[in-house]
Amino acid sequence: MSLDFPGHDKLVASLDAAVALGDDKAVTDALRKSLCELICDDDIALPACVLEPIADHYARREVYTSPDLGYSVIAMTWGPGQGTKIHDHSGMWCVEGVWRGRLEITQYELAEHDQERYRFVAAGTIEAGTGSAGSLIPPHEYHTIRNPSDKAVAVSLHVYQRTMVRCGIYTPEEGANVEGWQRRGERLLGTDQAA
């Protein structure tokens, strides 16, 4: 699957060169640099469909999946106030770039866990603007993303190590003696229609 848009081949060539480096740290460093450059490149214009929010959830639209290197590119569209719970990326690296607007990203570190529950400590929050990019490499993959605006739409481009079909979603426990504990659930990930 691949969407057609101006600058598609230029974007794919840049991402291919970064992913071909092989080593997780080298790949994610190169992808962050590439995304920052690609976002600001006037030759590249994402398809209009990825700029349109969906009212009841943030949108996930597949832009490209590499048949040779296996990585996938997903555009996410965040309506005003839309965001995620604490989640992981099921053990794979990801590089995320803000294509339009602003996103608030909070990183979490796993403080402790037992067989069924997890407790996290917030490790910092950043507000990322257009043209910025960050990366997640396991085990430092726990985070939330939210559009802090009450009016503007935000769009981000996510490059995953491979197609991400599920992730862990963490939900706070309720009841006595459960302060700060969360339970992990699996969320199957689909993509929204790219018209």
Domain ranges of the chain: 8-188
User: Could you give the CA distance from residue 64 to residue 71 in angstroms, rounded to a whole number?
Assistant: 8
Ranges of the chain with pLDDT below 50: none
pLDDT value at position 180? 85
Instruction: Please tell me the predicted confidence (pLDDT) of residue 44.
Output: 96
Distance, in Å, from the CA atom of 16 to the CA atom of 119, rounded to the nearest integer, reads: 37
Residue 138 near residue 90 (C-beta atoms within 8 A): no
> Residue 1: what pLDDT?
58
pLDDT of residue 37: 97
pLDDT at site 190: 85
Q: Shortest CA distance to 61 belongs to which of 116, 5, 2, 136?
A: 2
Which among 48, 49, 31, 6 has a CA at the least distance from the CA of 133?
Answer: 31
pTM more than 0.85: yes
DSSP secondary structure of 52-91 = S-BTTB-EEEEEEE-TTT--EEEEEEE-TT-B--SB--TT
- What is the architecture, at CATH level 2, of domain 8-188? Sandwich (2.60)
pLDDT of residue 130: 96
The conformational region for residue 102 under phi > 0 = left, psi -120 to 50 = alpha, else beta, is beta
* φ and ψ at residue 32, rounded to 5 degrees: -60, -45
